[in-house]
């Protein structure tokens, strides 16, 4: 059972880990704290892919010799050399006396290996301190490293009566500023943000994360199975095709899309990703998309609708995670478009197992998807 000091120091390590939000993928977010004589003598976190790991950053910043100190780290230290050297070797060389770990490495090939290595070198090890919080922080990494495909999350905002728009193709503000700001935070975390062609036509979204005055843009996917957008003579009027991040945008189509349409788009400078499965085979379509994104080192996709894209995701049981924002007051009525109107049976086919957040005017439920 971890003591109060263990919880305090691991909580600090978690705070540090979150500073890497959106920057470390495909690596996990990790924080580390070095404690000696009841004092924190060093801190560190993994800043970005390819940069030193949290343990190395922490050891380099030590204000005094780390010999005999206790290292708190949110994730099991790496035991393979990789691009930045094995953290287990650096810990041993620093003569750390004890390592306290939040969560073990989810990779079955590495899980528990660091404990065996460090214990074999006379370093005391303990794991499971704030384990749930440490694991939850890296839900994307945990999923992708085990399944070798990107985690796909579906995000939607609904009125109190479950509607996403007053009518199909009609932009309808659902949530207030606090909830919209939260959605930006999640966009910042995910490696790719996707939306259907219908959403593009209706809303002309940016699909960027705008936080604290800055703008971040990961990969942007416009889902258009038949490449109908190629018939639009002026696609450059849409933000995703004309802004400074346009090179990050791709249209995703299926194997039946007209090749002439694809050629027309590519000649105009718009990239196309062709999936070898037809959209009608939804499970295969989404599985291939997730695997191909993972092969590009993009470990997560945040799908923002609209209703037909949500229906396809549901048909293929492709969503691994979901974000449901719900207005507490707005009612759009029976004639409005429901989030799941195009799903067989017209009802949400899954439950969201996870957490909730209250934004005053709106409510969020988010977590792992379990299909009914």
Give the strand pairing for 70-75 and 192-196: unpaired
Q: With contact defined as beta carbons under 8 Å apart, do 201 and 300 qualify?
A: no
CB atoms inside a 10 Å sphere around CB 263: 12
The DSSP 8-state label assigned to residue 173 in this structure reads: -
Q: With contact defined as beta carbons under 8 Å apart, do 311 and 356 qualify?
A: no
Rounded CA separation 19/31 (Å):
9
Annotated active-site residue in 15, 43, 55, 291: 55
Q: Three-state SS for 287?
A: helix
Give the strand pairing for 219-223 and 214-216: unpaired
Residue 325 pairs in a beta bridge with 157, 364
Q: Three-state SS for 12?
A: helix
Catalytic residue status for 55: yes
Rounded CA separation 314/311 (Å):
5
**Residue located via tokens 């293929």:** 316
Structure tokens at 67: 């010999």
Q: With contact defined as beta carbons under 8 Å apart, do 35 and 68 qualify?
A: no
Structure tokens at 159: 């009125």
Q: Three-state SS for 216?
A: strand
SS3 track for 119-188 = HHCCCEEEECCCHHHHHHHCHHHHHHHHHCCCEEEEEEEECCCCEEECCCCCCCCCCCHHHHHHHHHHHH
Structure tokens at 171: 């932009």
Structure tokens at 341: 């109107």
- What DSSP element (H or E) covers 367? strand 362-371
Catalytic residue numbers read 55
């Amino acid at each position: 059972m971890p003591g109060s000091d263990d919880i305090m120091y691991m909580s600090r390590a978690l705070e540090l880990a979150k500073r890497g939000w959106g920057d470390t993928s495909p690596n996990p977010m990790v924080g580390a704290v070095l404690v000696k004589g009841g004092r924190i003598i060093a801190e560190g976190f993994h800043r970005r892919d390819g940069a030193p790991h949290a343990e190395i950053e922490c050891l380099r910043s030590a204000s005094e010799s780390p010999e005999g100190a206790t290292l708190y780290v949110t994730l099991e230290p790496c035991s393979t050399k990789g691009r930045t050297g094995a953290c287990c070797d650096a810990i041993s060389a620093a003569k750390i006396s004890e390592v306290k770990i939040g969560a073990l490495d989810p990779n079955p090939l590495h899980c528990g290996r660091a404990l065996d290595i460090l214990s074999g070198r006379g370093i005391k090890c303990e794991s499971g301190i704030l384990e749930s919080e440490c694991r939850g922080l890296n839900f994307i990494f945990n999923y992708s490293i085990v399944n070798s495909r990107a985690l796909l999350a579906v995000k939607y905002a609904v009125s109190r009566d479950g509607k996403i728009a007053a009518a199909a193709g009609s932009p309808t503000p659902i949530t207030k500023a606090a909830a919209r700001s939260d959605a930006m935070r999640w966009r910042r975390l995910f490696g790719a943000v996707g939306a259907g062609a219908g959403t593009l036509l209706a809303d002309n979204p940016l699909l960027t994360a705008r936080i604290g005055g800055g703008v971040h843009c990961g990969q942007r996917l416009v889902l258009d199975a038949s490449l109908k957008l190629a018939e639009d003579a002026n696609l450059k009027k849409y933000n995703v095709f004309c802004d400074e991040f346009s090179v990050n945008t791709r249209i995703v189509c299926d194997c039946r899309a007209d090749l002439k349409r694809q050629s027309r788009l590519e000649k105009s400078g718009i990239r196309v990703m062709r999936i070898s499965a037809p959209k009608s085979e939804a499970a295969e379509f989404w599985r291939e998309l997730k695997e191909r994104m993972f092969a590009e080192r993009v470990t997560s996709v945040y799908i923002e609708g609209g209703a037909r894209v949500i229906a396809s995701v549901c048909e293929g049981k492709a969503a691994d995670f979901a974000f449901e924002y719900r207005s507490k007051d707005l009612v759009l009525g029976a004639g409005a478009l429901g989030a799941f109107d195009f799903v067989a049976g017209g009802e949400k086919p899954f439950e969201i197992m996870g957490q909730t957040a209250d934004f005053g005017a709106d409510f969020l439920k988010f977590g792992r998807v379990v299909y009914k």
